[in-house]
Amino acid sequence: MLTIYSDDHHLHHGRCELIDGQLMPCFEKPERADFIRERVLARQLGPIEPARDWGLAPIARVHDQGMLDFLQGAWARWAALGQEGDLLPYTWPTRTLRQQKPDSVHGQFGYYSFDAGVPITAGTWQAAYSSAQVALTAQHHIASGATSAFALCRPPGHHAAADLMGGYCYLNNAAIAAQAFLDQGYRRVAILDVDYHHGNGTQSIFYERSDVLFVSLHGDPAIEFPFFLGYADETGAGAGEGYNLNLPLPAGSDWPVWSAALKQGCQAIDDYQPEVLIVSLGVDTFELDPISRFKLTSPDYLKMGARIRALNLPTLFVMEGGYAVEAIGINAVNVLEGFEQR
């Protein structure tokens, strides 16, 4: 399987995030992608190719132009104020507050985000832009006839909505790839999100549309980030009614529990008869993940890949979360090797 990778992810390295009342070093760190890349090489999964530049247009097909302008220009505005530390949002237009964009860089960041897990550093725009280009390059290979490809994206994307960043995500790489397929003439795209967290951004982008089926297995949002989306009664709206399937699972879910939900998700995908499958591949379902509460083991990821392969669809894997860095490469590549039946 071909892997697409960009070194630009190193340009994004946030310092801190708030976890359990304490400022901790960011879990979403460059080593994550480095470990996955090293495992791809060690296992000889296939060639690793750089991203090509497809420009801003395919990104703007999914994201709000105001948010893109903000993300692209925020660091320069922050630095011009004499600041050197990470730019972090801290006020949001929630209940009782006005939904309008203020002038200040902090006010605008709050307007375009839903949590504080999205530090903007000097290289964040370039890293997020290149991460989207990684997804688009892998998408191009599948549209050109490849049966699978791995977009080694970092930063991840599935929490990012059209005009909201959050949960370590700036640009929704999987959604941008899905929209690219549609713009190239595909009519039905399925997205299977196996990350531990609900892909609230991806869901919201396609919620009222029938051309993208979104299926997500995740920690029950009643007790897990992102808390405010991802419940089982969210089934789509308008033309999208019936094209959104959330499968929230309890803390402690292991392979028997998780794989039963996967079976249900795969059945929905099979019924939909998509032309292509995008897998939002997070491996924070791992038993040793520091911020998650599922209990999948490294061999389970081989079974996951084999089950996805049984859908018999051209499949684009897009990297999302996973924070047990010593094992992230093993687990992510196990899915790909399971898919390839190696």
| 224 interacts with ligand OKS by CB under 6 A | no
Catalytic annotation, pick one of 9, 159, 197, 218: 159
Identify the DSSP state of 147: S
159 is catalytic: yes
| Cα–Cα distance for residue pair 299/334, rounded to 1 Å | 7
Pick the closer one to ligand OKS by CB: 18 or 79. Answer: 18
Among 75, 181, 186, 196, binds Zn ion (CB under 5 A): 196
CA dist 303 → 15, 102, 181, 259, 281 (Å): 35, 49, 27, 9, 14
The yes or no reply on residue 321 touching ligand OKS (CB under 6 A) is yes
Return the C-alpha torsion angle 273, 275, 281, 285, nearest 10: 10
* Piece of the chain touching ligand OKS by CB under 6 A; list 11-19, 127-135, 207-215, 267-275: 11-19
**Which option in ligand OKS, Zn ion, none does residue 286 bind, with CB closer than 5 to 8 A by kind?**
none
Site for ligand OKS in 160-189 (CB under 6 A): 167-168
How many CA atoms lie within 13 Å of 23's alpha carbon, on the beta-carbon side?
Answer: 5
Candidate residues 6, 9, 17, 164; the one interacting with ligand OKS per rule CB under 6 A: 17
Which of 170, 58, 81 shows the shortest CA–CA distance to 123? 170
Query: Rg (Cα) of the chain, in Å, rounded?
Result: 18
- Show the tokens assigned to 34: 């480095």
CA distance 61 to 159: 17
Instruction: Enter the DSSP assignment of 210.
Output: S
Question: Which region among 86-94, 211-219, 299-307, 318-326 touches Zn ion (by CB under 5 A)?
Answer: 318-326
CB-nearer residue toward ligand OKS: 33 or 143: 33
Q: How far is the CB of 218 from ligand OKS (least distance, A)?
A: 8
The interface with Zn ion within residues 259-288 (CB under 5 A) comprises 282, 284
Q: If DSSP codes are grouped into helix, strand and coil, which group holds residue 201?
A: helix
Hey, what are 260's tokens? Answer: 């039963």
Does 225 engage in binding with ligand OKS (CB under 6 A)?
yes
| DSSP strand pairing (16-19 vs 22-25) | antiparallel
Q: Binding Zn ion by CB under 5 A: which of 195, 224, 300, 337?
A: 195
Minimum CB–partner distance for residue 320 and ligand OKS (Å): 5
Q: Which of 86, 300, 320, 337 binds ligand OKS (CB under 6 A)?
A: 320
- 213 forms bridges with which residues in the sheet? 190
The minimum distance between CB 228 and ligand OKS, in angstroms, equals 13
At residue 153's C-alpha, the angle toward residues 303 and 332, to 5°, is 20
Residues engaged in binding ligand OKS (CB under 6 A): 17-19, 117, 159, 167-168, 195, 197, 225, 282, 284, 291, 320-321
Residues taking part in catalysis: 159
Residues engaged in binding Zn ion (CB under 5 A): 195-197, 282, 284, 321
